[in-house]
Amino acid sequence: MVHTTPRRFEETAIIIRQEEIADDIYSMWLRTDQIAAHAKAGQFVSVYCNKGSRLLPRPISICEIDRRDGAVRLVYRVAGKGTDEFSGMHTGMQLKVTGPLGNGFPLKEKPAFLIGGGIGIPPLLELAKRLDCEKQIVLGYRDELFLLDEFRAQGTVFIATEDGSAGTEGNVLDAIRENGLSAEIIYACGPAPMLRALKAYAAQKQIECWISMEERMACGIGACLACVCRSANKDAHTNVRNKRICKEGPVFRAEEVEF
């Protein structure tokens, strides 16, 4: 995949609205004129805390883009002090945001699986809206369900839960097999074990597969090398088998990376 350097902006974003949509999972709409105008499905933003003691930004994937109103939607899980600070904010408050960052999903017109797991589900919503093809959306949840209505408005949705409380008992591949689903391309975002299994499944079925990787980040722009993953081939410049998830990713062709 040829990676380009996306244009990025620093903006003081204004919170339009925020709500808790599941236990410790929040949906926040931000007014960000430049970021919304240039963002693509699969990219992310870096959000800075207002408390000066927290210097590093928090990377959060873009869930939806509203170009007409100059806004982006972030859906995030409270995982530490930074995201806990964000969850306590309300309409009219401001946040410093940098983006859009990273490389997004390629849009291809062939029958597609959109496969998300846990907090890897939100980045697929904008992709579902942008794809002009047959879409089968497979979502894996550990506990509470969220964003279901939004995804059902974009395609046929299949659910997998670990305890079998909704949909298929098991994981996303169990849901695919139980329902006899097939596609010609996979777009996926979620935890590493899920992506590893999907990479193997895609290779077995000879299906094109694009994955968005989740990783802790520091700078978010490729300078600090804190979010590298192992790549199949050596980098031409550094001569090592590493790729920066924030810069070359977070979306990769599955064959590009190793788990």
Domain ranges of the chain: 9-101, 112-256
Checking if the pLDDT of 173 tops 50, the result is: yes
Q: Is 36 helix (H, G, I), strand (E, B) or coil?
A: helix
Model-level pTM?
0.88
pLDDT for res 2: 47
Average pLDDT over residues 148-173: 96
Tokens of 205: 């079925």
pLDDT for res 182: 96
What percent of the chain has a predicted confidence (pLDDT) above 70?
83
Query: What does residue 16 show for φ and ψ, rounded to 5 degrees?
Result: -80, -45
Average pLDDT over residues 70-91: 95
For the ranges 9-23, 176-190, 218-232, the lowest mean pLDDT is seen at 218-232
Checking if the pLDDT of 167 tops 80, the result is: yes
Does CATH place domain 112-256 in 3.40.50.80? yes
Checking if the pLDDT of 146 tops 60, the result is: yes
**pLDDT tier at 105, thresholds 50, 70, 90:** very high
Identify which of 69, 180, 188, 223 has the alpha carbon closest to the alpha carbon of residue 118.
Answer: 188
112-256 shares the fold of 9-101: no
Checking if the pLDDT of 219 tops 70, the result is: no
Cα–Cα dist 180/123, whole Å = 25
Q: Could you tell me where the DSSP H helices lie in the chain?
A: 33-38, 81-87, 123-130, 148-152, 172-178, 192-205
**pLDDT tier at 48, thresholds 50, 70, 90:** very high
Identify which of 122, 59, 121 has the alpha carbon closest to the alpha carbon of residue 86.
Answer: 59
Q: What is the pLDDT of residues 174-200, one digit of tens each?
A: 999 999 999 999 999 999 899 999 999
Q: Tell me which fold the domain 9-101 belongs to.
A: Elongation Factor Tu (Ef-tu); domain 3 (2.40.30)
Tokens of 59: 């990377």
**pLDDT tier at 102, thresholds 50, 70, 90:** confident
